[in-house]
Amino acid sequence: MNNKFLLTAAAASFALAGMAGSASAGFPEKDITFLIPFSPGGGMDSTSRQIAKTMAKYLPNKVNVVPKNVPGAGGRKGYGILAKSKPDGYTISVINMPGAIIPQLTGKKVNFDVTKFVWVGRMSTSPYLLGVSGKSSIKSLKDIKNLGRALKVPSTGFGSTAYTSVSVAKTVVGFPVKFVSGYKGSKQYIVGVVRGDGDAAMAPTQTFRKFLKSGDIRGIVTFEAKSSFKGVPTIAEAGYPELTGLGVERMVAATPGTPAAIAKILSAAITKAAADVDSQAWAKKTRRPFSHLTGSQTQAAVDRALGIFKKYPAALAK
């Protein structure tokens, strides 16, 4: 019985190895599906479509990379589809980090494990910025720490990337926060701050830019590595370098168990797609710059994001 099992297992693993070998040799032999677990029209969608379009050029064989929107449950539906797909590299998906990892860290029942995904690259990131109303008396991070009361922060709901990022920032920097949660999106809660629903908001720098330009919002600190706003210090300059890069990262992953050789091919194609002339022109026009990472660099970035949550578990509390 035992022997028979071993034999079968051995045969199976041989077969798998053989399949993997042959698959990566000829990969790709058919069209690749690029899942987008979000609705058409948003940042996740447009960036993914641009990469899908250009990466096809850089694959060893001439196939299409077909974008497919599978919105639902804040991305959870799409991640579930990726997890359940065949681990052959023909299904990849854009992954919103840290948004994708938060449900499982907060104990939600999910049918995927983000830590098991095979990372094939990062397309871009949107670092966050912390801003207050243009009329606010708060001028710096120091003012927030010395406020004498909790900072009131309009935000999307518990478990969202914005909510969690505010939690991370308050835990690391050390200031009390009172949330006004439940806004539909970043624009809505930024306007909430302008209106006086709360003191401060945290959202991608891209979303904030026009509000800073119009003077409705004052930037307090940006989580970019290098500030793109005059007079707004980076979080490293403010004394918290470990928070640099806090924000949304648009990563690409393949199904858990995808052979390394295939992941490498995909990673190389995404690398070239991000540097492609057409992509660069698009990035300039839409002001959505690529900040690309290879597969292994992406893995390191995921580990780093997870590390912050491990180090500061309080950031995941309600």
Q: Which residues bind other proteins (CB under 8 A)?
A: 39-43, 45-46, 68-74, 76-77, 80, 106, 108-109, 111, 152, 154, 156-160, 163, 178-184, 187-188, 190-192, 194-198, 207, 209-211, 213-214, 216, 285-287, 318
Beta bridge partners of 218: 132
Strands 32-36 and 65-69, sheet pairing: parallel
**287, 155 Cβ separation under 8 angstroms:** no
Report in angstroms how near the CB of residue 170 gets to other proteins at its nearest.
16
Structure tokens, 188: 């809505």
Of 55 and 238, which has the nearer Cβ to other proteins? Answer: 55
Report in angstroms how near the CB of residue 191 gets to other proteins at its nearest.
5
Burial of 173: CB neighbours in 10 Å, binned 0-12, 13-18, 19+: middle
Of 197 and 242, which has the nearer Cβ to other proteins? Answer: 197
- What whole-number distance in Å separates Cα of residue 202 and Cα of residue 181? 12
Longest dimension (CA), the chain: 77
Report in angstroms how near the CB of residue 53 gets to other proteins at its nearest.
10
- What whole-number distance in Å separates Cα of residue 200 and Cα of residue 211? 13
3-state SS assignment for residue 31: coil
Report in angstroms how near the CB of residue 108 gets to other proteins at its nearest.
7
Helices (H) and strands (E) in the chain, counts: 11, 9
Strands 32-36 and 91-97, sheet pairing: parallel
Structure tokens, 297: 């660099």
Of 144 and 190, which has the nearer Cβ to other proteins? Answer: 190
**Tokens 């806090």 label which residue?**
246
Of 195 and 310, which has the nearer Cβ to other proteins? Answer: 195
Report in angstroms how near the CB of residue 10 gets to other proteins at its nearest.
37
Of 24 and 85, which has the nearer Cβ to other proteins? Answer: 85
Report in angstroms how near the CB of residue 69 gets to other proteins at its nearest.
7
Of 27 and 282, which has the nearer Cβ to other proteins? Answer: 282
